[in-house]
Amino acid sequence: MSVFEHSEYDGHEHVAFCQDKATGLKAIIAVHNSNLGNALGGCRMWPYGSDEEALRDVLRLSKGMTYKAAMAGLKQGGGKAVIIGDPRTEKTVEKMLAMGKFIDSLSGQYISAEDSGLTVDDLKMMGKKTEYVSGIQAKYHINSEPADGNPAPSTAYGVFVGLKTSVKHAMNSELKGVKVAIQGLGHVGIRLAKHLHKEGAQLYVTDIHPENIEKAVSEFAATAVKPEDIYDLDVDVFAPCAMGAILDAENIFKLKAKVIAGAANNQLAKEEFGQLLVGKGILYAPDYVINAGGIIDIYHQSISSSDQALINHINKIGDTLLEIYQRAQTQGIATNIVANQIAEERFS
Ligand code: NAD
């Protein structure tokens, strides 16, 4: 396997292959770009089928973090770590401690947060061996909700701010009476539903777990929809808050919404589908811009700032989206491409 020639390598500054024989830990830490500051990004544990699969994932994810941090106005670079293994059966305290040591060996070049397969407790375990972990302290209150280090309340608030800005831009409307379809009512989606309900939006919701739907129906007067019907609704906004790659040609063809604004990562099945959305007159809020509330929260935890400083920073997601929309309009190109351009200008 060639690393420097890898199709996802993209000039990564540092890629560390970490093995601890005693605990069986195998991990890769990738630092994509540190022009704006030390790299911040989550550590994921996943049962990768091969080392190549793990390498591809970490390189792709750490590059994504460079773009996300730049667009969130953070003085941070992009990085990510992956631990190879099944988090349900192969995770041990000893492996977490060993991972903490490896992170520490990079002397702060990479600061780790939580990602799929790991919990705040796992991160705290790593934190026994390194100071370079963030997202483990209950510090912030987003709209009176305490965050326990979990960034979801901040992510949901950021998506709400971005959705509101996008509706204003595309429809010249406030949220009262605006119809929003939410796909996925997990940590982020259910909180987004709460914000939107408070502002008078009319909600249509789906999830694969009925209990999540019941909560939104009873607490936020939402209308329940089957998962397969969510793309066909006659709504103003589609808010994907479940999985990635849902914006494929088939689903884009079905959508009637004027705005797409949601938390899910990697929403576009292919980058060029951004242009399909332009063709259909749908305003797309680039995913890594609108869902940056979580990384902004983690950054603020690392600098120990105040609730208000965090909220002020998350509110800027709206301004960043407007900058993207204006440039996209002037240049006649898709918003996802403009977001990439602006990010590259900021971190290059
Ligand atoms: P989550 O796992 O808590 O929630 C996802 C929800 O989607 C679950 O309730 C799940 O049942 C539902 N779901 C899965 N498949 C579905 C389907 N086919 N149709 C309808 N619903 C389905 O995750 P989360 O933390 O709420 O994150 C949501 C998305 O936002 C993910 O893509 C995540 O990567 C992204 N994101 C999350 C954060 C964060 O702070 N949690 C930050 C940035 C991006």
Q: Does the beta carbon of 263 sit less than 6 angstroms from any atom of ligand 1? A: yes
Q: Does the beta carbon of 251 sit less than 6 angstroms from any atom of ligand 1? A: no
| pLDDT at residue 150 tops 80 | no
pLDDT of residue 269: 94
Mean pLDDT score, 183-206: 97
Give the position, in ligand 1's atom list, of the atom nearest the Cα of 188. 26
| pLDDT at residue 199 tops 70 | yes
Bridge pairing between strands 202-206 and 223-224: parallel
Predicted confidence band of residue 149 (pLDDT cuts 50, 70, 90): low
Q: Whose CA is nearest to atom 15 of ligand 1?
A: 242
Tokens of 244: 């990635």
Q: Whose CA is nearest to atom 4 of ligand 1?
A: 186
Predicted confidence band of residue 140 (pLDDT cuts 50, 70, 90): low
User: For the segment 92-109, what is each residue's pLDDT rounded down to a tens digit?
Assistant: 999 999 999 999 999 999
- Lowest mean pLDDT across 36-50, 123-137, 197-211, 297-311: 297-311
Please say whether the beta carbons of 206 and 214 come within 8 A.
no
Q: Does the beta carbon of 47 sit less than 6 angstroms from any atom of ligand 1? A: no
Please say whether the beta carbons of 59 and 8 come within 8 A.
yes
Please say whether the beta carbons of 134 and 301 come within 8 A.
yes
Give the position, in ligand 1's atom list, of the atom nearest the Cα of 262. 30
The angle formed by the CA atoms of residues 266, 271 and 276, to the nearest 5 degrees, is 110
Q: Whose CA is nearest to atom 35 of ligand 1?
A: 264
Query: From ligand 1's centre to the CA of 241, what distance in Å?
Result: 5
**β-bridge partners, 239:** 182
Identified catalytic residue from 63, 80, 91, 215 = 80
Q: Does the beta carbon of 184 sit less than 6 angstroms from any atom of ligand 1? A: yes
Predicted confidence band of residue 148 (pLDDT cuts 50, 70, 90): low
- Within the chain, strands assigned E span 14-20, 25-33, 39-46, 77-84, 110-114, 141-142, 145-146, 179-183, 202-206, 223-224, 237-240, 259-260, 283-284
Is 316 an annotated catalytic residue? no
Mean pLDDT score, 184-197: 96
Residue position matching structure tokens 């959305």: 277
Percent of the chain predicted with pLDDT > 70: 97
User: For the segment 279-309, what is each residue's pLDDT rounded down to a tens digit?
Assistant: 999 999 999 999 999 999 988 888 888 889 9
- Lowest mean pLDDT across 71-85, 137-151, 263-277: 137-151
Average pLDDT value over all residues in the chain: 94
pLDDT of residue 328: 97
Q: What is the rounded distance in angstroms from the CA atom of residue 212 to the CA atom of residue 216? A: 7
Query: From ligand 1's centre to the CA of 331, what distance in Å?
Result: 33
In sequence order, the 6+-apart residues with CB closer than 8 A to the CB of 302 are: 40, 111, 134
Query: From ligand 1's centre to the CA of 213, what distance in Å?
Result: 14
In sequence order, the 6+-apart residues with CB closer than 8 A to the CB of 308 are: none
Percent of the chain predicted with pLDDT > 90: 87
Tokens of 62: 């750490």
In sequence order, the 6+-apart residues with CB closer than 8 A to the CB of 28 are: 15, 16, 17, 18, 54, 55, 58, 81, 82, 84
Higher pLDDT, 140 or 307: 307
Residue 240 phi, psi (nearest 5): -75, 115
Mean pLDDT score, 48-59: 95
Residue ranges of domains in the chain, CATH in brackets = 3-62+76-126 (3.40.50.10860), 152-347 (3.40.50.720)
Give the position, in ligand 1's atom list, of the atom nearest the Cα of 212. 9
